[in-house]
Amino acid sequence: MADVQLDGLTSDPVTMGWMVGAPPPPDRRILGARADHMRFPMIRWSYSNMRSFCPTVRIAASGKGTPFPRALRDDLGAVRFTPLGSQGEISFDDALLAAFTDGILVLHKGEVVFERWFGVTGPETRHIAFSVTKSFVGTLVQMLVGEGRIDLAARVDSVIPELARSGFGSATIGQVLDMTTALDFSEEYGNPNSGIGAYSAALGLTPRPASYTGPHNLWDYLTTVPGAGTHGERFVYRTPNTDVLAWIITRIEGKPFAEVLSERLWQPLGMLGDADLIVDEAGAPFAGGGLNLRLEDLARFGEALRLGGLGVIPESDVDRIWRGGDPERFHKDAYPLLGGWSYGSQWWHAGDNHGCFSARGIHGQTLWVDPASEMVIARFASHPTAANGANDPHSLPAWRALAEALKA
């Protein structure tokens, strides 16, 4: 099944016929018990249908949201650019296929100027955002910082005593927020013995081996992550930092994370639709990557940040998000394509002359904010490769080329 020869076009989930029919033919079923929903090419269907594989809770919208106005510019599909490390130009339309795009929206000055849907993904689809989820969490943290309810200089174990003996306990909340914690944890996808492998087993997103004896939920798991080294020295991307942040938010707010996200962002921002948040068997939110939302609602989040928070996120909090992290602390070896970038407040910052910042999730999930160009791009994808290094060569220069085209 995992035919790596399939490209963005031939892996189209409608063409492949996943889960069509009652019952679907056996070779066209996507079985969670086999972890099919996390394997290419089945992910081209499953990432748009995660609630049918995982326990979820509802992030309630207000029901009063209105769509962005449309001012579509179909010429944008023909915009040409040179992918990183390539010789020849390709068109933006071709790049969409190269990125295994499921849906993309480009906002310019608050209007949708470009919109494309592929496969089984459409405007109402709740597509998994993976680590784009983290940027929602980081924004909530900054809002609580602004209210004086979170002190970024405080130690994690002052809020979550359960983490005292873990590697997180001695870190400051600010270090967790910027992922400069020093932990014995590797974010190596596909290796069940890596940190992220153990994290995934605790979360239960795919079936656990029968011999599994580890933690059965994220809260218990987080208490087991050992420290290694000195906090604050360098940024190393490690997903469970975000789950610690969600735990802190939940403890401080005294209510489930899903409710906080609904009350503080989903409802006041006028999101168009409820979102689905994956939870584990104890009810812990998969804050590191479990948000499933409408693409236009993702764009709305970016637009709100571009415009200073729209009165929902206080401007001083948005300022701290815009500021980014310390490029000197960036994990340069891990991201050869991201020279000059930094990571701060659970956001990625390009460090370019447009002030661009981004939320990024595996397999190509993207929210790209280009303040100088008054442009926001939201993209869902199901690229065969988890790491965004596989997508960036086609994506980062495309965003810049779009910005240039929109000047015209």
Give residues in contact with a copy of itself (CB under 8 A).
19, 22-24, 29, 31-33, 49, 51-58, 60, 63, 124, 126, 216-217, 219-220, 247, 250-251, 256, 274, 279, 281-284
Facing residues of 381 across strands? 101
Sheet strands side by side (includes 342-344): 111-117, 101-108, 375-381, 365-370, 357-361, 347-349, 342-344
CB of 283 to a copy of itself, least distance (A): 5
Facing residues of 277 across strands? 57, 291
Number of residues in the chain: 408
CB of 340 to a copy of itself, least distance (A): 38
CB of 57 to a copy of itself, least distance (A): 5
Which residue lies nearer to a copy of itself by CB, 273 or 364?
Answer: 273
Encoded amino acid at 266, one letter:
W
Handedness of CA 290, 272, 368, 181 (dihedral sign): negative
Contact (CB, 8 A) for 357 and 349: yes
Ramachandran quadrant class, 399 (left: phi over 0; alpha: psi -120 to 50; beta: rest): alpha
CB of 42 to a copy of itself, least distance (A): 13
Ramachandran quadrant class, 79 (left: phi over 0; alpha: psi -120 to 50; beta: rest): beta
Q: How far is CA 307 from CA 15, 64, 145, 218, 315, in A?
A: 40, 20, 20, 35, 9
Q: Check residue 353 and report its DSSP letter.
A: T
Contact (CB, 8 A) for 129 and 362: no
Contact (CB, 8 A) for 266 and 61: yes
Sheet strands side by side (includes 291-293): 56-59, 275-278, 291-293, 127-128
Helix 315-323 × helix 132-146 angle, to 10°: 130
Among this protein's residues, is 158 annotated catalytic?
no
Between CA 96 and CA 67 the distance in angstroms is: 23
CB of 334 to a copy of itself, least distance (A): 31
CB of 163 to a copy of itself, least distance (A): 12
Which residue lies nearer to a copy of itself by CB, 56 or 180?
Answer: 56
Between CA 204 and CA 216 the distance in angstroms is: 7
CB of 128 to a copy of itself, least distance (A): 14
Which residue lies nearer to a copy of itself by CB, 22 or 408?
Answer: 22
Coil/strand/helix, residue 150: coil
Which residue lies nearer to a copy of itself by CB, 159 or 307?
Answer: 159
Catalytic residue among 11, 46, 48, 131: 131
10 Å Cβ neighbour count for 149? 12
Residues marked as catalytic = 131
